[in-house]
Chains A and B, each alone.
Chain A
């Protein structure tokens, strides 16, 4: 189960050629850097006229959900699943 967080994070991203979405490489949360180890799924959600990109990734050994808000032009840590949490 993902625990909701909703904290802004600093993100280092790559814009690969011909790919539909940017690729997060490293995030900084609460002053600590976490390299993104793998990206499992990317999906979109519309909240009114705001398009959000949601990334399910593994970083620092935990499953994270990252959110990119195109209106605020900011990345957020949407939710986190600790290693021993299970689904």
Chain B
């Protein structure tokens, strides 16, 4: 089997550099709005030379490189480019798995001979992506017999290169790869493995499955496979639908909303979005989960099963609110709110509401969905979640800014002079 792992280099940053020539060759980071505390979503190659990495706070990035340029993220740009590079890849094979917005696996076992071998095919793909997307949007490609090894190979290929791990090279790769380099082995597991004297994948491969199972449970079997350079996860092509298990949203609460009333508004806003997504996917869920985090990073929350599955944001909100009350209400400074609806089934399997008030709300939600489909998400806001507009502003994306502008226009049209400046 021949698997390619295609990883776009410094993706968001290189898309921004492609869009704006004045950013090229300069250290830039894509982040939230520069005037609020946020994290680095992507750092350009030039910024990486200063030690700046994704996940750092913007404050840390500025300290490492005082002349860094902060660029607000534009999700629309990245989504379009991802769609366009997927279109190119699908030209080569339908066996394409979308792993994340900037990472893709391809099974090219059947195609390599037609293209003159895996290395030639990988270079062809790189050239074509460069020609179609722009010279600044580059990718690295790892080639290996499975997804695990392809993902490790791409690290050797970065930046902009191609690295092929042939079956005869696997033993060497396992001997030099530390366990924490594998996606799925986090700091906790790697610490436990280190205590057991296991540092590399080859060390892991020398342990028996039974021994690892005894210490890590089900995960032990997976670790045993990884230690032998095997991957239990097959490639899932994009056309094979994933079974959706739950729908939900969570959001860090900005400082201005870190009080119980603010957290309540954020919860309602997230329930609205969850309900809307359930309705868009024609699903209804039976179990509502709530997650709250306080200023000391302590989580509280819970879950409750409903009698009838629902896609009604009002029911989701009331259930989540009851869960919060059971935990003693919202923390004084809630820093994160999350809501999720699980045990989802197709909407058609749920009986229609009997009460007139529920039917009226169903019609109202359908009408609100129609308005948002036609005019955008920001076209309609509940008065009680109006303060949550700051959540869309916090991401800093131009698309989001447009959404806010639309909301402001709508508010101004209804009540001139009433909209709050961003």
Q: Which residues of A contact B (CB under 8 A)?
A: 20, 40-49, 54, 56, 58, 63, 81, 85-87
Complex: how many Å from CA A42 to CA B84?
Answer: 10
Interface string of B317-334 (1 = CB under 8 A from A): 000000000000000000
Q: A44-B80, A48-B373, A49-B374 are in contact. Are A86 and B22 (CB under 8 A)?
A: yes
**B387 close to A (CB within 8 Å):** no
Q: Interface residues, chain B, CB within 8 Å of chain A?
A: 15, 18-23, 26, 28, 69, 71, 74, 76-77, 79-81, 84, 87, 134, 372-376, 379, 399, 402, 406
Kindly state the separation between the CA atoms of A47 and B373 in the bound complex, as whole angstroms: 8
**Contact partners of B20 in chain A: CB under 8 A:** 40, 56, 63, 81, 87
- C-alpha gap A45/B377 in the complex (Å): 13
Contact for A49 among B69, B87, B373, CB less than 8 A: B373
Decide: A48 and B21 in contact? CB cutoff 8 A.
Answer: no
Q: Which residues does chain A contribute within 8 Å of B372, judged by CB atoms?
A: 48
A48 with B379, Cβ < 8 A, contacts A40-B18, A41-B134, A43-B80 known:
yes
Report yes or no: B406 in contact with A47, Cβ–Cβ below 8 A. Answer: yes
Contact A43 B406 (CB under 8 A): no
Are A47 and B77 touching (Cβ within 8 A)? Answer: no
- 19 residue pairs of the A-B complex, CB under 8 angstroms, read A20-B84, A40-B21, A43-B77, A44-B79, A45-B399, A46-B376, A47-B376, A48-B372, A48-B374, A49-B373, A54-B76, A56-B18, A63-B20, A63-B21, A81-B22, A85-B22, A87-B20, A87-B22, A87-B26
Q: Quick one: closest A residue to B377, CB to CB?
A: A48
Q: Please state if A56 and B19 are interface contacts (CB–CB under 8 Å).
A: yes
- Whether A41 pairs with B77 at a CB distance below 8 angstroms is yes
A48 to chain B, nearest CB (A): 4
Contacts of B26 in A (CB 8 A): 87
A58 to chain B: which residues have CB within 8 Å?
A: 21
Chain B residues whose C-beta falls within 8 Å of the C-beta of A44 in the assembled complex: 76, 79-80
Residue in A43, A49, A81 whose Cβ sees the most chain B Cβ within 10 Å: A43
Contact of B402 among A40, A45, A87 (CB under 8 A): A45
B28-A87 in contact (CB<8A): yes
Cα distance A54–B75 in the bound complex, in angstroms:
13
